[in-house]
A and B are shown apart, each in its own frame.
Chain A
Amino acid sequence: MLLVLISGLALGALYGMTAIVYNVTYSTAKVLSFGTGHFAMVGGIIGAFLILGLHWPIWAGLLGCLLVGALFGYATELLAVRRVLVSSDQHLWVLSTLALAIMVQEAMGLWWGTDPTPFPHLFAQQRGGLLDQKYWLPIIAAALMAGGLEIFYRHTLLGKIFVAVSEDDFAARARGLDTGRVRTLSFVMAGTLGALSGFAAGQLTFADFNLGTTLSLAGFIAAALGGIGSSLGAMVGGVVMGLLTAFTSHFFGAEYQKTIAIGLLALVLVSRPQGLFGRPLMRDV
């Protein structure tokens, strides 16, 4: 039972990190990218490729993975977001990020293969048991990420600029802030954080090209549950999702995993659309 709890927490940590990444892009650009889960997928695969395939040392593999994540984030903003936000149609970025996510997932599947492959063991440690690093790595990474972001937003100038842009885009622009540059930066940050989460959870999920869609969906449900725009909400949502998944698999079998996940989402959307800690979604006029 304790094992189910721990694995649920670890999975929840990954979902929570994905939810945080959703928040990062949403706060500055009001964009929820379909490819958010794909940052983690790419992170995991590149990490496995660099360390196991090219035999780079672990720190180099981590750096390489983060760099690729940053580039991927930048590319997302450049290709799928920048031009699209110019047009007044709200829906287009949903389509463009979906398109880009599909392309990246397929490209990864074609290059890396469709079977999940092993992710390198990062620290010398006896395998197995409750304290296996595949459980505590994502949990620690999630805590660091949430904490680090809070420090960033509250105590650094750049972070406060992010907050300003997310509160009121027009006012920030009127004060001379380059919101376009902020947006680009937030996507780069999102890509890096996403890749980090994929690297940390790699031993849990394996390097798997399928992870993209699953994580985008699960991470979104976690974000919606916790309330988009709140880091605390993201973590809480992630943990709830993770534990729910682990326990229902344990008691009812794996067949109803997705059904339960969407049941949760439907419940949240019907009763409290802004989630546990979020602000009301739509401000009409």
Chain B
Amino acid sequence: MIVTRLHSSALGRRSLLIAAAAAPLAMPAIRSARAASAPIKLGFVVALTGAFATNAQAINFGFQKALGEINAGGGLLGRMLEAITRDSAAEPTKAVSFTKELLFNNDVDMIGGPTNSGEVLPTLGVVTAAKKIQIISGSVDQLIDPVKYPYAFRCLNKAGQWFTVSVKYTLDGLRRRKVAIINDNSGFGVLAMQSVEHVLKAAGVTPVYRVNADIGQPDMTDEINKARDAGADVVHLWSNSTGFLARVLNARGQQNWNVPVIAIPAVLQEQVANLLTSRAYWANVYSPAYANSVLDAKGNLPPATQTFLDRYKSEVGPFMAAGIYAMLQGYNIPMIYAAGVRKAGTVDTVAVKQALESIPTIDLPYGPFHFSPTDHDGFPDDGMVMVAANSLHPNGGFEAAPAGGAG
């Protein structure tokens, strides 16, 4: 704190000079007083158009609602939150460019997103170098590294958790060991294939059939038949493309092969059901979904989820198709940041980082998060629950998958 001392005697020339010289020194004091009421700026890079836009739009919805709630409650540390959103159109070059714009042009206090793993990868180095908190919204395991990117945290599960939970259900729940993996040839599909095989190998299982098929291939009958011929008794599907998932399920149905399918949560979307030639093909399909969307015995959603849906019931309509979890995922971003800032008492990056690492649990409708100096992923394995795809209820929830499968 700079203190200006004006000579208390009559204002002579010398005093004027001192005053003139001292005035700029007083500016920081005035500026920090003004800063205390200036908004906290959250930069948000989200792929509202382009690949997986529906998913990102739901995430954006949750994000903006969380922001509104925090502001309605008086803001953070007495300051309002301001979101500066940029649409990266699922292009990594735009994600990098907008991240730099937010950091250097808009002087944001933290970066939320990007929302696709391919876009997150190039931005991590940039945000770390600028020393700002980044709460990423991509699932690929490699994104989080507390050593390389100390200020980056995740707001959802990591992809590896889908695989560990699914393999566990395959081996212990369904009790099947002859696994066929049918993925697409996108980046995620290739990566997922490697990860799943890795998890299976650790349990001593080798897939009987594996393929990275062309994501746009119109007919998947060939792959289904090959899996069947190889003696598979369970099929894994790790593709983010609703079209691809639907086509494989259609082929399975048309070939009258009632093999259980375990797939990525994208298979739970109403969009997939709409692409099926028969809704019956959605049966015997399971997915590692989230406890936040699982119904209890009475058909009710968890209380926190229901509260969110009730509060925004007039607006959630268009985003339900992407899955409740997508909206809650976006809701996480400002909330996690707010928890860290409140504990730290400041927006200083290092302080917030340490605060986040020391909060025992951040309880959110999506699930509980627990970060530590060595773990910036934070989401527990038991936040994921296997559900049956065709158990989608009108309220957006699912029934938990039976332990032994449908038979």
Task: Please tell me whether chains A and B touch each other in their complex, using a CB distance cut-off of 8 A.
Answer: yes
Q: Report chain B residues within 8 Å CB of A128.
A: 221, 253-256
Residue among B51, B217, B255 facing the most chain A CB atoms (10 A cut-off): B217
Cross-chain pairs A/B with CB under 8 angstroms, 7 sampled: A3-B221, A115-B241, A206-B218, A206-B243, A208-B243, A210-B216, A253-B211
Check: A273 CB closer than 8 A to any chain B CB: no
Encoded as 1 (CB less than 8 Å from any A CB) or 0, chain B from 108 to 142 comes to: 00000000000000000000000000000000000
Q: Give Cα A134–Cα B220 distance, bound, in whole angstroms.
A: 13
Check: B351 CB closer than 8 A to any chain A CB: no
Pick the residue among B211, B254, B275 that contacts A127 (CB under 8 A).
B254
Q: Report chain A residues within 8 Å CB of B217.
A: 249, 254
Residue among B50, B214, B256, B274 facing the most chain A CB atoms (10 A cut-off): B214
Q: Give Cα A254–Cα B51 distance, bound, in whole angstroms.
A: 21
Check: A250 CB closer than 8 A to any chain B CB: yes
Q: Report chain A residues within 8 Å CB of B277.
A: 118, 121, 127
Q: A114-B53, A204-B218 are in contact. List 10 more A-B contacts (CB 8 A).
A: A4-B222, A7-B222, A114-B51, A116-B243, A121-B277, A132-B254, A253-B212, A254-B212, A254-B217, A257-B214
A176 CB to nearest chain B CB (Å):
48
Check: B346 CB closer than 8 A to any chain A CB: no
Q: Report chain A residues within 8 Å CB of B171.
A: none
Is the CB–CB distance between B243 and A255 below 8 Å? no
Pick the residue among A4, A115, A255 that contacts B212 (CB under 8 A).
A255
Check: B284 CB closer than 8 A to any chain A CB: no
| Total residue contacts A-B, CB cutoff 8 A | 60
B275 CB to nearest chain A CB (Å):
5
Q: What 9 pairs across the A-B complex have the smallest Cβ distances? A: A254-B214, A128-B254, A116-B243, A205-B218, A204-B218, A254-B213, A254-B185, A127-B254, A118-B275
Q: Report chain B residues within 8 Å CB of A7.
A: 219, 221-222
Pick the residue among B185, B219, B254 that contacts A255 (CB under 8 A).
B185
Check: A214 CB closer than 8 A to any chain B CB: yes
Is the CB–CB distance between A250 and B222 below 8 Å? yes
Is the CB–CB distance between B222 and A204 below 8 Å? no
Residue among B51, B241, B243, B271 facing the most chain A CB atoms (10 A cut-off): B243
Q: Report chain A residues within 8 Å CB of B275.
A: 116-118
Interface residues on B, range: 20 to 34
Check: B225 CB closer than 8 A to any chain A CB: yes
Q: Give Cα A124–Cα B241 distance, bound, in whole angstroms.
A: 29
Q: Report chain B residues within 8 Å CB of A116.
A: 216, 243, 275
Q: Report chain B residues within 8 Å CB of A205.
A: 218
Is the CB–CB distance between A249 and B218 below 8 Å? no
Encoded as 1 (CB less than 8 Å from any A CB) or 0, chain B from 227 to 263 comes to: 0000000000000011100000000011110000000
Q: Give Cα A144–Cα B255 distance, bound, in whole angstroms.
A: 30
Q: Give Cα A204–Cα B219 distance, bound, in whole angstroms.
A: 7
Is the CB–CB distance between B214 and A249 below 8 Å? yes
Is the CB–CB distance between B219 and A253 below 8 Å? no
Q: Give Cα A4–Cα B219 distance, bound, in whole angstroms.
A: 10
Q: Give Cα A4–Cα B254 distance, bound, in whole angstroms.
A: 16
Q: B253-307: which residues lie under 8 A (CB-CB) from chain A?
A: 253-256, 271, 274-275, 277
Given contacts A115-B242, A127-B254, contact A208 B222 (CB under 8 A): no
Q: Report chain A residues within 8 Å CB of B213.
A: 249, 253-254
Q: Give Cα A205–Cα B217 distance, bound, in whole angstroms.
A: 8
Q: Give Cα A208–Cα B242 distance, bound, in whole angstroms.
A: 13
Pick the residue among B53, B211, B216, B221 that contacts A214 (CB under 8 A).
B216
Q: Report chain B residues within 8 Å CB of A257.
A: 214
Nearest to A121 among chain B residues (CB) is B277
Encoded as 1 (CB less than 8 Å from any B CB) or 0, chain A from 1 to 16 comes to: 0011001000100000
Q: A195-253: which residues lie under 8 A (CB-CB) from chain B?
A: 204-206, 208, 210, 214, 249-250, 253
Q: Give Cα A227–Cα B271 distance, bound, in whole angstroms.
A: 42
Encoded as 1 (CB less than 8 Å from any B CB) or 0, chain A from 82 to 108 comes to: 000000000000000000000000000
